[in-house]
Structure 1
Amino acid sequence: MNKVLIIGAGGVGSVVAHKCAMVPEVFGEITLASRTLSKCDAIAAEVLARTGRTIATAKVDADNAEETAALIRQTGAKLLINVALPYQDLNLMDACLLAGCDYMDTANYEPLDVAKFEYSWQWAYQEKFKNAGLTALLGSGFDPGVTNVYTAWALKHHFDEIHTLDIIDVNGGNHGKAFATNFNPEINIREVTAECRHWENGEFVETAPMSRHQEFVCPDGVGTYEIYRMYHEELESLVKHIPTIKRAQFWMSFSPNYLKHLEVLQNVGMTRIDPVVYNGVEIVPLQFLKAVLPNPGDLGQTTKGKTCIGNIITGVKDGKAKAIYIYNICDHEECFAEVGSQAISYTTGVPAMIGAKQILEQLWKTPGVWNIEQLDPDLFMADLNVHGLPWQVVELTAEQAAVLKVI
């Protein structure tokens, strides 16, 4: 019986717990742990009500590798699913090495004191995991995650060479709040306010945050949205592992209301990640802001609309130019009806379960540290259709590609 340990009891952790519980033939004993036991217990009660399965809960400090390793041994977990904060990735990887447990996450490591999104720290664990005979799967969310698998699948089935890649993440949902982020506010705001980088002719080119934007028409009636170019970590691994890519960009939609609030918060210093002294106590403004903003895990109750996330890819096949668009559309209200979460948590949590499934079924059980595009994409793609994130792929003519502007 496969035993797994899920670390993190936020919105994504809740989805992962639900979705793992729905696949009992793969996920046997499930333990959900976080620093706050009451959050785990609340999720476990929801999982029992929705699926009829009982999952165990535990309290753990994910910053403490020895404590986490002890919990891994206690539960007998063969895989640790990390849906905690990116700052904790390395400590959790250390815990897995100490306890002899496979590892996976949905986002790359990020230092606490600087907004620096890169894989170098985790790639440095390659030999440690390989020598231990353990697998570490990096970035099995949606972006990164599914967008990487889309790219690998496209290269396997549609292209001899990929030349351009545009990842477009549109959230057409409306939660009815004056200002809220759809996932952890601290991580979301650090991402959005960081310098933009995109890949062009063999190097990353840096530009000001949110300085390039354009209109994008989503398929299937989702709507028309303004998308902004920003840096996202999957670009780093994709251009490393698919060296024919000449240009790679990441785009995300933002409403004028979101940008207005963010500008004000930046101007008054509330997005700072360095500590300030208030009444003799050091506080980090962004962490304080996180504490007063709505909890993303609670947004599912009010969010309506759809997400549309996908890749526009161009390249050559049999010597001829080719372009495709591969995408998923996800409905916020349908996600809430199924697992009690909005679509942003759902689109991250489902791929986390699927990545874990690939490891436990020995399909991706290869010692070492791997980004998701380095592994065979076919069964992961099939599982997306089965477990709630069905995808579509359409071929684009040169004229259609030109209309999309990002080509």
Structure 2
Amino acid sequence: MTKVMIVGAGGVGGVVAHKCAQVASVFSEVVLASRTVAKCDAIAKQVEAKTGVKMRTVQVDADNVPEMVALLKKEAPKLVINVALPYQDLHIMDACLEAGVHYLDTANYEPLDTAKFEYHWQWAYQDKFEQAGLMALLGSGFDPGATNMFTAYIAKHYFDEIHELDIIDVNGGDHGYPFATNFNPEINIREVTAECRHWENGEFVTTDAMSKSAKFTCPDSVGTFDIYRMYHEELESLTKHFPTLKRAQFWMSFSQNYLNHLEVLGNVGMTGIEPVEFNGQSIVPIQFLRQLLPDPASLGPRTKGKTCIGCVVRGIKDGKEKIVYLYNICDHQECYAEVESQAISYTTGVPAMIGAKMMLEGKWMKPGVWNMEQLDPDPFMEDMNKHGLPWKVIELDSFSLEK
């Protein structure tokens, strides 16, 4: 019997629960935990209706380390799948260390008061996890996560040396709202409005947010989109673990409508992360905005279209330059039909399940704190094809993102 605990009951948590239930031979018992147990109950009800698998639910404040430790010691899961907020990563890692439980997350730690997407806080746990004989797998979502695997797979099978990396995340979905975010609004808006950093000639270069854009035509008739260069955390680990990279960039698609709304909200202070006083109470503007916007978990029934996320790598093989593009296309409505979620949550939740599966099956299990690309990509990539995220790889004659 292998028991796991999923911490977090948002859109991604629901997908992870559904996908674990589909592989009950590996995830023989799943406990759903969240501050709001009613959300866990709703997920458990969905999962049972779809798969017949029953999951228990428990209430826990993941920011309260002693409370989390007590729950972990009582339940004794082999692994915690952390799909709570990035602010809570270190608290959950501390609880796992104290309770002797392996750890996995989908996004790196982020301080509440600073829009910093960096790994160094979690990398500092390397010795603690190694000495405890426990494994912590960081960033087992799509980006980061699958994109790290794409890069590692391409580097392993197609190149002697990789020199340039462009990660391109396109969401061609339409939910019909004037303005909404496809995952946690607070995290999404903080990412988009943060300064851009890209890797060039051995260092990170900082530019203004959204200051560089390009047109990108997705394969398989998904469409042509405006993409914008921004910082994303996988650049930090990929440039560390692939030192031959001379340039690495991350791009994401945004509609002009989304950007117009974001600009206005920023201009009036609604995207701020510093507390302000209002009617005798301290509120954080972006957290208040989050309450006004549609819940990302509610977008599934109304979102149509596809996502196209992949990596373009330029490098050298047998002395000759070549370009390889590896990508996945995911249909929002197909995801909803399967797990009652839109594709953004689906593309994050499936790799979380696969990463956990890799650990539980012993294919990746080793003490310490690890980023995805430090591990063998082949079994993970094989499972992506089996569990709902099929990918394609093609060689390109040329590639440019200059507008």
| Counterparts of residues 1-400 of structure 1 (less than 5 Å) | 1-397=1-397, 400=398
Report the secondary structure of 2:266's partner residue. Answer: helix
Could you tell me how far 1:401 is from its partner in structure 2? Answer: 1.9
- Give the CA deviation at 1:71: 1.3
Distance 1:74 1:19 in 2: 25
Matched residue count: 403
Counterpart residue identity of residue 141, structure 1: G
How far is 1:405 from its partner? 4.2
- What is the distance in 2 between the residues matched to 1:21 and 1:65? 28
- Deviation per CA, 1:339-388: give whole Å up to 9, x if none: 00000000000000000000000111100000000000000000000000
* Shift in Å, 1:40: 0.3
Q: Which runs of 4+ in 1 moved over 6 A?
A: none
Instruction: Give the SS at the match of 1:114.
Output: coil
* Deviation at residue 68 of structure 1 after TM alignment: 1.0
Q: Per the alignment, in what secondary structure is the counterpart of residue 84 of structure 1?
A: coil
**Distance between the aligned counterparts of 1:231 and 1:9, measured in 2?**
27
Q: Deviations over 1:141-169 (max 9, x none)?
A: 00000000011111110011000000000
Q: Matched residue of 1:88: which SS?
A: helix
User: Which amino acid counterpart does residue 181 of structure 1 have in structure 2?
Assistant: T
TM-score, normalising length: structure 2: 0.99
Identity among equivalent pairs (%): 70
d(CA) in 2 for partners of 1:228, 1:262: 14
Cα distance in 1, alignment partners of residues 109 and 314 from structure 2: 30
Letter in 1 for 2:57: T
SS of structure 1 residue aligned to 2:118: coil
Partner of 1:401: 399
Look up the equivalent residue of 2:80 and give its one-letter code: L
Q: Secondary structure, in 3 states, of the residue corresponding to 2:210?
A: coil
Q: Which amino acid aligns with 1:401?
A: F
Q: Say which SS state the counterpart of residue 97 (structure 2) adopts.
A: helix
SS in 2 for 1:53: coil
State the Cα distance separating 1:321 from its structure 2 match: 0.5
Q: Compute the displacement of 1:8 (Å).
A: 0.3
- Counterpart AA for 2:341: S
The runs of 5 or more residues in structure 2 that have no matched partner are none
Paired residue type of 2:340: G
Structure 2 SS opposite 1:183: coil
Residue deviations 1:157-215, cap 9 Å, x none? 00110000000000000000010000000000000000000000000000000000011
Distance 2:402 2:53 in 1: 48
Deviation at 1:69, TM superposition (A): 1.5
Cα shift readout 1:28-64 (whole Å, capped 9, x = no counterpart): 1100110001000000000000010000100000001
Q: What SS is found at the alignment partner of 1:33?
A: strand
Distance 2:360 2:354 in 1: 10
SS at match of 2:299: helix
d(CA) in 1 for partners of 2:9 and 2:220? Answer: 33
CA drift at 1:3 = 0.4
